[in-house]
Each structure stands twice: as structure tokens, then as C-alpha cells.
Structure 1
Amino acid sequence: MSGDNSGYTPVTNASVTNGPVTNGPVEKPRADATVDEEGRFVVRVRLPLPDSARPRLLLQLRPKKGQSEEIGRVVALQPDGKGEWRAVLETAPALAEGRWDAYVLPSPGGERVPLLPGLRDLRALVSGGGDGRTTPLAVRIPYATKDGRLAVRAWLRASHAEAGRIVFAGRSMTVRARLFGPRLGEGATALLQRRGRATAVRQIALRAEGRQDFSFTVDYQELLADGAQPGSGAAPVIWDVYVRPATGASRIRVARLLDDVADRKTVFVYPAATLGGVTARPYYTVDNDLSVEIAPPPAR
């Protein structure tokens, strides 16, 4: 273990396993996960081992396509009743942004075994962020992967604009949001950047509603100017949503991170407005960032 008090040991893939990853059907072990009000991540694993055993919890950062595993976090599992073990991951050090797969190492030098998800108590996350949130913002949400394994979705952002309620009116939407990190200042604006076109930007007046809260209204028609309207059969045009808190400040991505939903894209589906044969609707990306899609008419 490392010499600090965090309970974490940074590791490489080679240092945590002497054998291949167990990829076959796994009935055990299963883990319950809790995030408490202080942001600690508590894992309880049902594992039939003697109390003298030294199992460990491994969180392995999922590599990007074409890259190899490099970063891992290990924390000791402590006995917590007959056949049960408990690990507490403190809020610091923060996990790097990405998806972390959860494993158990039953013995030193043994194979890593994927954890299956048990109960997940995320009630402390449901209320979202409050005024007490500090930056950099570190968020960790345990979830079940598509293939039924336990994983943790982590975000780590130096500053953040948290999307709130979205209100629709005809061919426009109004977004309410809260800023974490910098304060709103003179010249604050919302920005929509057309994906793949660095020079295609729409600036929108921002209404400050306090030191942190603000709102802005997007008129979808403004996103169709200058040839930004997709033709029939073409790929959708995507506009990514940012806020610039003051003149000359760096822009900040608008996202929804401060609750218990790890993947919003297919969960939050918003209504689409029709404009001259195309449709416009907001959506959340695979990283829970807010964007607007302008979809072409269906091909004939």
C-alpha cells in the first residue's frame, strides 16, 4: 500500500494479476455499492474466504480504443461479517475521468475477478449538487454495465456548468443551469459550437439569476443559418453547449453530472421541434454533456 492515508495504491495492469482476466460466466462475487453524503464510495463484497485472507478491490480504468491498460486503483477489503468484506474509497485522491471496471483480487498475485452489481444505494446523489460543492468537481457513480458487471463512471472537472430543468416553447428551449468554480461576470454568455466546425459558433444572451445560477434560451432557427441545415440522408448536425462565465474566460461545457444517472443519453429523451423539414432536439451525450441535434428529413 502507499504511504499516504488515502487507502489507494496506484498500480499497473501487470502488477495486479499473474493470469488472464476472468471473462467467462461469473456467479460470484457480487458487491453492494453505496455513495454516502460525504461522497465516499463504500463497497461490500460477498466472498467466501477465511478472515485471514487478504482480498483487495481493484478499480481499473477502461482504456480508450487501441490503447492498453495503464492505471489502476487498489484498496484492501476488510472483514465485515461472515463471508463479507468491505472497502471504503475516500473522496481523495479523485479518480481520473472515465469508466472504471470493478474487480476483486481474492489473493495476492491471483487472477482478478469481475464484480457483479448487487444493491446500489445512491440516495445521497439524487438531490444533486448544492452551494457547498467545491472544484475541481469529482463525481463517481457506480452502475451496471451492459454485460452485467459493476463499474464506476467518474468525472473530474476543474470547473463545471450543471444543467438543470429544460423548458420547451415552440421552436426554442430554455436551459437553467448552475456554475461551479468561477463566478458569473461581465460579458457572460452561452455558446453553441457546431461539432467539427471550429468557426461555427452561436453566442446567446445569458440571464444571471444569482452568483451561480443562470439561464439562456436557444432559438433553434438560429442553428439553421449559414448552411448548417442538413440535407436529406445526411448526418445530423450537432451543436455542443458551453458557457463562458465572463469576457475572455475559458468556456465550460454544460453537462448533467450531479445525480445518480451514469448514462443519460438513452434515459432522458426530450421532444423534438420541426423546422422546415428538419427536427431539433437537445440530448445528453455518452459523457452526459448537453448538445443539440439538428436531424435531416428521412431519406426517400
Structure 2
Amino acid sequence: MLDFAITQQRPILIYDSNYPSIAKIALHARDRGYDIHILAPGFPESATFNLLDLVKDSTDSVAAHDLATIIYQLSQSNVDSFFTYSSIQLIQAVLMLAKEFTLADLLTASAILECDRLTERLMAAPLNPWLKLAFGQLLSTVGTKTNTEIITTAFAILGNFIATQSASNCFLGAASFPLKIKDKQLVILGFNAESQAILASLMSSIMPTIITYDAVKPLVFTTDELFFAKEIKHLTIPIIKNSPHFNEFNHESWNNFTSDIVQPKTDYSIIQKQSNIRKLEIEQSLPIPQLIG
């Protein structure tokens, strides 16, 4: 069925939780003129995906909260239960606020948390109602030790996630992963559940979110689009599983992966420089009250 789809030049999305067991199909498809995109944390051939593309705008509190929760889970941070909730809430808020800036990504969210006297800056800023609500707990603790601890904990959680191999490999830098699939494109969403157990929760949560993001957009989910999934237990989206264009398969013949689809990665020093630039923009947009006027 997959070979037939390639022969027909259909747009294809493969979700593989045993990556790279089927990755060789990418080379087969490329030989037939396909444009290949792979998102596979920890693998050199992975494209880069901006996680904040999952957050529609600065009012999208639901998507931001889901993403903040996943970031916490993947950061492997040991945090007191009170600060766990408060820090996830703050990370949600900075993810939403990051959407207000030119470059909305994890580095911008992290740079917001780095700002000196962040709470005072936020109190003086013309935040929309959704942002005020998201930052509510932080703003209510202004001037207290708890306030500082919430910010410090949130910054540590986000920093721990950014420092992971999965984040540095495919979630930082200029985005190169498509949000919609076009004709003669093959997109692979891959991870290895056995060797990347820590990533399982990320991929089982974020990857279906990406698929949903794709499928609910009229120009993306079409009657010509085929979905293939390996290990269907990781895929729980009714709109995909109930689609007549959804196909489950278990093809083990593509075992020998040839890693000649390698994506250029952003150097860490460049990432650090970008982070500093973002911080300057944020501090100018959120001035300390005493400096106004």
C-alpha cells in the first residue's frame, strides 16, 4: 500500500514509534522525486520544529498549558508539588507571551524568565486578559520569596528541557519542519520507544498534536492524503484513526538505515547569541516601571 501511494505521488505522513526501522523508505521515496521531511529527536537527519507553532497566539492558554506540562515531564526536574503547579503555570504564561514577539520560540520564552524584576515589568505591561490570567499567580506573589522561587524553578525546568539532546537536536533553531503536507511530500514523525524511553511521553503527546494541527486545517487534511502509523497504540486521535485514509502497517523490511539525509544544525554559540538578542527585545518591550518616562 505504501509503495502504491508513492507510485501515485500522494502526500504521505508516517508516524513511527520504532524509528528508524522504516526510515529507508524515505530514500526510496526521494528517489521517486519526493520532498522528504523527518522529525526524529536525537537523530542527525531530523528537521527542526518550533514547538511554539503549536500555540496559536497569546490567547491560546490550552495549547500553552499542554506544552508546558510536556516540557516539565521531559525536563526530569524534581520540584516541590506547590512549585510544580506554579512553575508549569508560569511556563504556560511565558509561552503565551512569547507569541507576542517577533521570534516566538523556546529561547524567547526562556529569555522572558531571565529578565530582571520580571514581575514588576509584567505588572506595568499592557497585557491582554488571557495573559493577565495566566500570570495571575506570579503577580499575586510580587515582592515575596515565593515569587522568586517560582521564577527560578520555572527557568530551571525550561532550561533543563532546552539542554536535553532532543531539544537541542530538533526544537531549537530555525524551523524547517512543515506544518502542512503538500503533494509529493513524505513526512516522518519518528522516535524509538525502547532506546528513548524518556522521549516516549513527548512523542506520544506532541506528535499527535502535530497530526491534529495538520488534520484540522482545511488546506492540509484532504481526501488525497494518506496516513500510515507504526505501533498504533501511540496514536489516539479519532480524526486520524477513523479516517478512511488511515492505514496501520508493520513493515520490517526497511531495517538498514542509510543516514544521508542529514540536517544542518545551529551552533550553540549562535543559539546563545540569539537568546541574548531576544532578551534585549523583551526588556525594551517590558520596561521596569521606574524607568518609564
TM-score (norm 1): 0.23
Structure number having the greater strand percentage: 1
Structure number having the greater helix percentage: 2
TM-score (norm 2): 0.24
| RCO comparison, higher one (Cα < 8 Å, 6+) | 2
